[in-house]
Structures are given as structure tokens and as C-alpha cells.
Structure 1
């Protein structure tokens, strides 16, 4: 019997539209494997919220594989070493996998050498295929979008296989429960009410056309159910971007939504070009920026993390994040701006908190978005454009959102809900503002003026 092949799953935990799976199945018997590697990523080992999602997604993937005559092999350790060992154990001829662009995955891919066969499948088009005239990755999204458009629409999604040939003998597998991915003492995930896995993602995808018509407006209103909530499914690859694109075919109002898919491709290009973007400023002139440090800054960071800043829209977002592992997109921008510009805390501190608490924490998206807000990125907002959270709260009608996530303010009516302190409606159990908006703005601008120009 011809040698089997390994199918290496990472953030592509699905059977539909999986080019590596299809290619592997055409070769011979397939051994699907997932490796939990906390060593190769270093400081970027997946955070707590992602581990919760991963447990459930792997469980669902194994169910789906068993339904087509296969199963999922689980191993733990440095992935290149683990896969090399599995190749020897099973006599497998090669490893098939989908391209990933995080620097640690690229290092692992290089270590596997010519025994690894890579396929495109987690992006709209091949990331390396969308280049500037100089042959480099784009650093401005608007230009990227125009170039990407010449490669669209993406290829049609591939169907899931009906059967998958099994090897003559299965290698040993870890037990998912032994990986202890789920929190126990304390179980901080009791508010995680997500349906996880490919089947749940496909059900969510069915609802997309109904959201598209008003997406550009509704997605900015935290109190409305205008977000698609597909981001964790896309991050873990329970859906492919090509599937989501196809689901919006024929929808005249789909462009704004499709740009969100394109943003994922764009950020992958950024980290391909600048692999250290998660820790290094996109513009070196931000390196000497006078971020606050010390006990006062640490206390402010902790107040921000706990949703105790005295700014209701900020506190609502941070509490939603802690409770559910997710935060509304508009609120993400508000709370990021607040940390960086009102509190003058280094953007990397916020990025790391997101990495641990977001179920959809993605290296490309996370780092590019934080540097966009901070003004330090290659494709960034200007630092001196300081978002006013109280104005944003009222503008985007966040009253009911605040009442849901900050129960101390449940009885405060509009418009006082956006700034109860200013209206004399702040309850005793809700903190005063950690800093006034005008004071924070002046402090931020003064800090910015100390930086070298250029």
C-alpha cells in the first residue's frame, strides 16, 4: 500500500474549502494531525480565550473527521520536531498544510523543508501575489484594495470530501482533555456562549445576507446586533474567506463587508514584510515616545483591564471582553484609543491583553489595528486625532450597550448614561473618571510634541 500523508491542521479547522485536505486525499490515506505548540511561538503562544475556543473546535473537527471515516491525531511539542517524528513513525511520505504567515509558523514550515507541501486557502488570494510595482507588500490599505480587486473574485470554495481514506494503522494520540485548555479554578469562561466549530460557523454564514443591507451603518452601533460575529470562526479557519465572499454574491451592499475580509489579507501581507510588527513600531520615530510607566500607570492599566475607568463606553467594552471573549469593533477602537492616548500606556500592553482575552486574537489583525490606533504603524491614524469616548458613545447610541455591561448604570437614562458624572448621576459604586478628557488630551499632545519630527 502506498505511504500515507500527514495533513497538518493549524488555523484551518474545517473540511469545506480546504485545499490541503483535498490534495492530501488525492494522494493516498490521510493522517490528520493537530500539534499544540507552546514553544515555537515563544511569547505568542495562544492566550487563554483562544485556548477555550481551540478545545471545542478540535473536538468538533474530530467528530467531523470520524463521520467521513477518519479521525484527528493530537500531539504536543515543537511542531517541526513532532511532525518529523510522526513522518518516521507512520512512514508518511509528506505533510500537506495551508500557508500561514505568522513568523513562528513560517519558521516551522522552513524547518520541515521539502517534505512539506503548502497550499493557499486561508485568504481571498495568495498573499504574496498582491504586490506593489516595486515588488513589495503594500503598506497602505487603500492601495492594497485597488490592487487586490484585479485578482477578484477569488476561486470558488471547494466542497468537503465525503470520505477520507484511513491508514492501515493509526499513530498514538494525546487526549484532548489532558491538554487542560479549558479554565477550571476559576472558570472565567462561564459567559462564553459561543457555538464553536465548522457546523456552527456554516449556520452563522447562512445569516450573512440578511445583515449585509445595513451592515455599513449597523456595524457601528454597539447596542444593535449588526456585527456578523464571524471573526473567531475566520481566525480558527472554521470558515474560509472564500466561503464568506461567496455567501455575499449578488448583494449590492456587500463592498464594505468584503473590505473587512480584504483587511485580513492586508494584515497578513504586513506581517510577511515586517514579522516583528507585534513588538516593534512601524515608524522608528515612535521608539522614544514617552509612554507612562511606574505604579500610577500600572494602576491605570489595571483599571482599564477591569472596566473601572469612569468612562461608561470604555468600561462596557472591557467588561464585554472579559465576559464573552469578544468586543464590538467600534468599541475596540474607542477603548484602544483611550488606553494609548488618554492613559498614555504603551500600545503593546493593550495588544497583549487582547491576545490573552480575545477568542479572535490574530497576530496580523491585532498588531496592525493597535499600531493604527497608536499612530505608530505603517498604515496608521494620526496620533493627534484623539478620539473622544463620551462623544463616540452618544454618537453611536451606546446607551443600552452600557446598561447591559455596566449594571451599576442600568438605571441612568439617556443622555446622562454616556457621562453620568457630568450629569450628577454617577452611582456611588461606579468610579469617577480616571482622568478628564481635556486633561488627557493636553497631556497626550504634550507627549507627542517631545518626539522627533519626520
Structure 2
């Protein structure tokens, strides 16, 4: 009987899983394997919130496998070493895994392929596991990737998606292959108190609920900070506890302008992956440089620390940063606002903000995080690289009654309506009784500083 190994990475599910389906073709035995690779810790990507969500997801995956007669095998160490070891223990002929786009993933795949071939085994890498459309599936003439989203989205929308795959009914795992104990969320310290639950069961529940009662209003309400009208599916897409192909197919079946707007956001995710696949250096270097001379030194660091702590003096910025700290997640409009504030108003390097986000975001991944930060900093794919979001204007537009601000900035809980967005304008006694900082910089000063730095003054 043929035996195969399925290496799980950021695809922690049974439903719509091409590597698992391919490994089960012909009815052989399968070893579902996840390797806790310590080199990820060394690279600084083992953030507590993601480790806790990962623990939830691994335990849920194991439970779903056991319902079908299987189990998840967990190993710790170097991925290549452990995969080869498990393949030898199981006498497996094939190894299947999902494709990825980061430089780390590409190097891992090449090492694994060489090591398996040296043992007489084959590696199969599958596309459209972590994306709806494969990174290299659509390309413009005379280029290896689209640098602008709109033409990419047109081609992406015309691309036919594969069928959604049902989960397997039965899985047989070789008894001789041992496993380390699965992690538990409670073993992880430093987790945000409001972190959401992980796992395919939860991801599928959220998608079904979203399509039933939330997606219709998405086009109108996705920027409503207080309304919290987004899908909150990004952590599940990041960990692969939800299939992007299935999410798009089900949204299109639901239909309507809200579903179309949601699908567009999934396309943005694929867009960033095709950029990073072609330009892996964009994870750390400007995609399009303006030769910025980012501010450094004590003043810049003090302002950046106020930004991290949610104490900038601009309520909507601080509310979003405090939501990040509490939930390990932030509303998309908030992400745009805080990124603009750090890079354009404070003129601090986008990598400072990207690092802080990766330290806390449960959905933080290299492609979306780094390239969204570059987009807002004006060093990425944005066709208007010098746009600046005014936090007061944005706050009044997307949190007109101040509900979002008062939710996360309790110091301003007693300030009425839209006045909460400009606490420095409050009458003297009312302002004096509020334990909230003055702005770290005036908006005109920050704008002037940015324009001069970009040679636009």
C-alpha cells in the first residue's frame, strides 16, 4: 500500500485541501504532518498571538482527523530534517505540500526537494491552497507580475477557479509514526486578552455566519469603525483554516454588491502574494524607493513609542492601536490610518510599523503585512505615493459619533459626539480633567515635514 506524507504549513484544514486529496488518491495511507520549526522562532515570527491561534488550529485539525480514523503528527526541529525522517519511518514514496511565496518558504522547498530526491522520494507542491489564484497564473505582457491592482483584478476576476474539494471521509495513518504532544493555547504567554479562537471548525462557522448575515451590507459598512462590519476572516485565511477558493466561490454564489466587495479584498490578498513571489526582497526593502531619509533618534523613537502605546494624542489612531494590543487584530480602516500616521505624519520608517504589527497581529504574514505597509508609506504599489490620511478628518468620517474612540480610549468616554476627535479643543476645565496626552506633533507640522522630505514642499 502506497504511503504519502502531507506537510501542513499555513493550510490547517481538511476541507478543500489539494495536497491531502492528491495524497489520498488511490486509497493509500497518509501521514498528516506539521513541523514546529524553531528557525521560525529565530527569525522573530513566533509571536504569542499567532502561536496561540496555531495551537487552537492544530488541536482542531487533529480532532477532525481523528473523526475520520486519522491523527495529526507533530514534530519539532528543522522542517527538512523532520519531513525526511517521517517519510523514512513511514516508508513514504511521496510528499505533498502547499506552495508559498516568501523567500523562507522558497528556500525551504528547494532544500526539501533535494533532500527527498537524494532518498529516492518525490515532492509535489500544490498551488491554490493558500490563494484563490496562483501567484504566477496571471501576468501582464513583458513582466512577471502586475504592479497595479486594478488591471490585476480584471485578469484575476476572469480566471476560472478550481472546484472546491470535499474533506476526506476516512484517513489511515501508519501506527509506527510517532508524534510530539500538541501545543495548548494556555501554554503561550503574552497573548492578547481579546484574541479570537482558531481552528477550521471556527473558521467555517464564521464564514457561514458572515455570508448569512454580514456580507450584504459589506460594501456600505466595511469602513465603519464602530460598526465592526468586516468579516474578521483574515486570521483564518492566514493560517489556512479557511480556503480562499471556497470563500470566493461561496461569496459569488451569495451574490450582491457586498459579496463583490468582499471578493475584491480576497483578490488584494492574492495580489500581494504575486508581487512578493516576483520580488521577495520587498519583504524588507522598498518596492519603489523615494530615497526616504526616515527620522531616527530620540525624538522619532519617543513618537514611535507613543504610537505603539496608543498615546499619540490623536484619538482614532490611539483607539486602533489599543484594539491591536487587546485583540491582536485591527479594523482595516484603522490599519490604514495608523500606517499613514507613522510613515507620513511622524515620518518614521515603515519597517518600524511593520515589525510592531508582526509582533501582535494574529493575521500577520509577510506578503500582506509588508506590502500593505509599503502601500501606505508610498514605497509600494500605490499609484499615489504621497497621499496622507488626516486622522481628524478620517475619524469624523468613519467614526462620526465617536463610538469606536470611546470604546478603546476610556479617558475620553465622557466627551460628547464628534468632539472626541479633537480633545485639544475642549473647554479648559473639561480638557484639564481628561487624562489624555496632547498631540505628539501638530498635523500641519507633520505634513510640512513629510512634504519637505519627499521634495514636495
Shorter-chain TM-score range: over 0.9
What is the alpha-carbon distance in structure 2 between the residues aligned to residue 255 and residue 364 of structure 1? 23
Pairing partner for 1:273 from 272, 278, 296: 278
Rounded Cα–Cα distance in structure 1 between residues aligned with 2:44 and 2:456: 32
The structural deviation recorded for 1:42 is 5.5
Match 2:123 to one of 110, 116, 120: 116
Any gaps of 5 or more consecutive residues in structure 2?
none
Say if 1:326 and 1:359, in contact at 8 Å, map to a contact too: yes
Q: Secondary structure at the match of 2:33?
A: strand
How far apart in 1 are the matches of 2:22 and 2:150? 34
2:153 counterpart (117, 141, 145): 145
In 2, the alpha carbon distance for the partners of 1:202 and 1:180 equals: 20
Could you list the structure 1 runs, at least 4 aligned residues long, displaced by more than 4 angstroms after superposition: 179-182
- Whole-angstrom CA distance in 1 between matches of 2:275 and 2:30: 33
CA distance in 2, matches of 1:111, 1:327: 36
| Deviation (angstroms), 1:100 | 1.3
C-alpha displacement of 1:44: 5.3
CA-to-aligned-CA distance 1:134-187 (integer Å, 9 cap, x gap):
2511111111111112213x12211111111221x232222234x888433xx4
Distance 2:152 2:167 in 1: 31
Mark the CA change 1:414 to 1:128 in structure 2 (over 3 Å): closer, same or farther: same
- Give the superposition deviation at 1:225: 2.7
| Residue of structure 2 in register with 1:259 after alignment | 264
Q: Distance in 1 between matches of 2:95 and 2:226?
A: 46
Could you tell me how far 1:41 is from its partner in structure 2?
A: 8.1
2:164 aligned residue (157, 178, 183): 157
Conserved 8 A contact 1:8-1:95: yes
**Alpha-carbon contact 2:412-2:434 (below 8 Å) kept:** no
Match of 1:438 among 444, 450, 453: 444
Q: 1:182 to 1:328 in 2, by over 3 A?
A: farther
Question: How has the CA–CA distance of structure 1 residues 381 and 404 changed in structure 2, closer, same or farther, with 3 Å as cutoff?
Answer: farther
Q: Equivalent residue for 1:127?
A: 135
Q: Summarize the alignment of residues 150-299 of structure 1 with structure 2, pairs less than 5 Å apart.
A: 150-152=158-160, 154-167=161-174, 169-177=175-183, 182-184=187-189, 187-192=190-195, 194-209=196-211, 210-248=213-251, 249-253=253-257, 254-284=259-289, 286=290, 288-299=291-302
* Shift of residue 353, structure 1, vs aligned partner: 0.6
Counterparts of 1:36 and 1:82 in 2: how far apart (Å)? 10
**Are the structure 2 counterparts of residues 261 and 77 from structure 1 closer, same or farther at C-alpha, using a change threshold of 3 Å?**
same
Change (3 A) 1:143 1:97: same
TM-score by length of structure 1 reads 0.93
SS at match of 2:101: coil
**Secondary structure of the corresponding residue to residue 429 of structure 1:** coil
Instruction: Tell me how far apart the structure 1 counterparts of residues 194 and 45 of structure 2 sit (CA, whole Å).
Output: 23
Cα separation, 1, equivalents of 2:379 and 2:295: 16
Query: CA offset at residue 450 of structure 1?
Result: 8.3
Find the aligned partners of 2:62 and 2:403 in 1 and give their Cα distance.
40
**Structure-2 change in CA distance of 1:364 and 1:44 (3 Å):** farther
Q: What is the deviation of 1:40?
A: 5.9
Bigger shift: residues 158-167 or 416-425 = 416-425
Matching residue of 1:404 = 407
Residue in 1 that maps onto 2:5: 6
Structure 1 gap ranges (5+): none
TM, length-normalised to structure 2: 0.92
Q: How many residues align structurally?
A: 441
Q: Tell me, yes or no, if the aligned pair for 1:206 and 1:247 is still in contact at 8 Å.
A: no
